[in-house]
């Protein structure tokens, strides 16, 4: 026998996978490799992708079979690579991870992967190489069979959740402001600062379009550097509920102040209501910029990063101006032309939400900095 040469074949991972794994780690997501390959091959690839960290271990399917469920639960949090495993082993791994309260996403493409895909919190099957059984059992189908798609889906999911939370915060704080202004004025014996049709117009024009535009907010900076939110965390957690209340009260007080000043200056009831209406509308539109981010300044985010919101606010401004300045609509909406001094008060009060919330955000950022840099 004469040795002619040595021939080796390598099937390297896609170049973008290493970056995706690093992005998962920064987002608080732990990546675990489960493969049918030989252990040495699996560990080598895992090291290349930085899936294995100091202190992480590896297991083979044969070792898994020698473990009972209790033994697997003890080591599952420290194992980063499972090699030579069968689909039945995948199901046991999912069960062990869920036992510790982890939210588990599992990928698979074969018929036998269906139980693990079904048991995982999020089952992701392959759209190209996956079987129909696996696709039916999964929650998500990767049309390109690419791991990075999962990472992009996580970012998109976090963005959608933040946008829903922002829209709800905006709507509820605006409604809180309207209720606060009306009930406070009635308790003080000042009469209602807003007529019924003005309230309806506010809900239609200043609440609806900006709330919809806030749902189109782009991903926030650093969104993939935050840990996953807890399962029991509600939509009003992380101070959202408190911000709805105090920001709503602030908007209501501003409108009530405009109404009281108008009455104090012996303006007519229609003029006083117009000042309250304009202050309420403009302060709500200004407030829409505040809810784009809980802590980051609007001037850091920039006004041009959500053009949909800019267009929505512009449309709302036009609709508010129409009912204030159009003569035949003034009778319908019970509005009147205001004097320059009145408009100065309205504009000054309407800018207050931006100033107050920016100061609050600055205080939050300073407090967070002190906590992270004791």
pLDDT higher than 90, residue 160: yes
The domain in which residue 46 lies consists of 15-151
pLDDT higher than 90, residue 171: yes
DSSP class of 268: -
pLDDT higher than 80, residue 369: no
> Would residue 352 count as lying in a domain?
yes
pLDDT of residue 129: 85
Q: pLDDT band for position 233 (50/70/90)?
A: confident
Burial of residue 18, with CB atoms counted within 10 A of its CB: 0-12 exposed, 13-18 middle, 19 or more buried: middle
* Boundary-marking domain end, from 99, 130, 151: 151
**Residue 143 burial (CB count, 10 A):** 10
Whether 220 and 77 share a structural domain: no
Mean pLDDT for the stretch of residues 65-75:
92
pLDDT higher than 70, residue 67: yes
Whether 37 and 74 share a structural domain: yes
Q: State the total domains in the chain.
A: 2
pLDDT tens digits, one per residue of 266-322? 999 999 999 999 999 999 999 999 999 988 899 988 888 999 999 999 999 999 999
pLDDT tens digits, one per residue of 177-202? 999 999 999 999 999 999 999 999 99
Report d(CA 76, CA 79) in Å as an integer: 5
> Would residue 6 count as lying in a domain?
no
Whether 178 and 249 share a structural domain: yes
Whether 220 and 144 share a structural domain: no
* Boundary-marking domain end, from 86, 116, 151: 151
pLDDT of residue 280: 96
> Would residue 7 count as lying in a domain?
no
Q: pLDDT band for position 373 (50/70/90)?
A: confident
* Boundary-marking domain end, from 120, 151, 182: 151
Q: Which residues contact 253 (CB under 8 A, 6 or more apart)?
A: 180, 181, 184
pLDDT higher than 70, residue 165: yes
Q: Which residue has the higher pLDDT, 15 or 373?
A: 15
pLDDT higher than 80, residue 1: no
pLDDT of residue 287: 96
Percent of the chain exceeding pLDDT 70 equals: 100
Q: Which residue has the higher pLDDT, 279 or 143?
A: 279
> Would residue 50 count as lying in a domain?
yes
Tokens standing for residue 163 = 């946008």
> Would residue 156 count as lying in a domain?
no
Mean pLDDT for the stretch of residues 348-372:
90
Whether 170 and 306 share a structural domain: yes
> Would residue 5 count as lying in a domain?
no
Mean pLDDT for the stretch of residues 111-117:
88
Whether 128 and 216 share a structural domain: no
Mean pLDDT for the stretch of residues 107-122:
89
- Average pLDDT across the chain, whole number: 91
pLDDT tens digits, one per residue of 27-64? 999 999 998 888 998 999 999 999 998 888 999 999 99
> Would residue 373 count as lying in a domain?
no
pLDDT higher than 90, residue 4: no
pLDDT of residue 217: 94
pLDDT of residue 239: 87
Please report, for the domain that includes residue 303, its CATH number: 1.20.1110.10
pLDDT higher than 70, residue 374: no
The whole-model pTM stands at 0.88
Q: What is the DSSP string of 153-202?
A: HHHHHHHHHHHHHHHHHHHHHHHHHHHHHHHHHHHTT---SS-HHHHHHI
Please report, for the domain that includes residue 37, its CATH number: 3.40.50.1000
Report d(CA 95, CA 104) in Å as an integer: 9
From residue 272, how far is each of 194, 204, 261, 294, 337 by CA, in Å? 9, 21, 8, 33, 11
Q: Do the bridges between strand 122-126 and strand 140-142 make them parallel or antiparallel, or are there none, so unpaired?
A: parallel
> Would residue 3 count as lying in a domain?
no
Mean pLDDT for the stretch of residues 126-130:
86
Whether 198 and 299 share a structural domain: yes
Whether 188 and 222 share a structural domain: yes
Strands (DSSP E) along 21-126, which ranges? Answer: 33-34, 57-60, 79-83, 105-108, 122-126
Whether 292 and 339 share a structural domain: yes
Whether 76 and 176 share a structural domain: no
**Residue 276 burial (CB count, 10 A):** 30
Mean pLDDT for the stretch of residues 347-356:
96
Whether 200 and 139 share a structural domain: no
pLDDT higher than 80, residue 66: yes
Whether 194 and 272 share a structural domain: yes
DSSP class of 5: -
């Amino acid at each position: 026998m004469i040795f002619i040469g040595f021939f080796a074949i390598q099937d390297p991972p896609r170049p973008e996978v290493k970056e995706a794994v690093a992005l998962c780690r920064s987002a608080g997501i732990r990546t675990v490799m489960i493969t049918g390959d030989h252990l040495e091959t699996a560990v080598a690839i895992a090291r290349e992708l930085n899936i294995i960290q100091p202190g992480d271990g590896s297991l083979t399917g044969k070792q898994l079979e020698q473990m009972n469920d209790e033994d697997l639960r003890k080591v599952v949090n420290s194992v980063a690579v499972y090699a030579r495993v069968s689909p039945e082993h995948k199901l046991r791994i999912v069960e062990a991870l869920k036992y510790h309260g982890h939210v588990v996403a599992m990928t698979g493409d074969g018929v036998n992967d269906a139980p693990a895909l079904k048991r995982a919190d999020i089952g992701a099957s392959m759209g190209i190489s996956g079987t129909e059984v696996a696709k039916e059992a999964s929650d998500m189908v990767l049309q390109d069979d690419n791991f990075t798609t999962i990472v992009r889906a996580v970012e998109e999911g976090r963005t959608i959740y933040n946008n829903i939370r922002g829209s709800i915060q905006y709507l509820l704080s605006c409604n809180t402001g309207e209720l606060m202004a009306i009930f406070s004025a009635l308790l003080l014996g000042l009469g209602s600062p807003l007529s019924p049709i003005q309230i309806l117009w506010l809900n239609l024009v200043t609440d609806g379009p900006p709330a919809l535009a806030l749902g189109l907010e782009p991903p926030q900076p650093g969104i993939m550097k935050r840990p996953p939110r807890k399962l029991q965390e509600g939509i009003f957690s992380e101070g959202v509920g408190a911000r709805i209340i105090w920001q709503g009260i602030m908007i209501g007080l501003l409108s009530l102040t405009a109404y009281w000043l108008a009455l104090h200056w012996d303006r007519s009831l229609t003029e006083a209501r117009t000042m309250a209406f304009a202050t309420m509308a403009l302060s709500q539109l200004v407030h829409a910029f505040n809810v784009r981010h809980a802590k980051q300044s609007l001037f850091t985010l920039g006004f041009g990063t959500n053009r949909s919101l800019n267009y929505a606010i512009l449309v709302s401004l036009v609709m508010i101006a129409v009912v204030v300045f159009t003569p035949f609509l003034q009778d319908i909406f019970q509005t009147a032309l205001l004097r320059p001094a009145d408009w100065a008060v309205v504009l000054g009060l309407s800018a207050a939400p931006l100033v107050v919330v920016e100061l609050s955000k600055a205080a939050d950022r300073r407090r967070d900095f002190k906590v992270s840099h004791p």
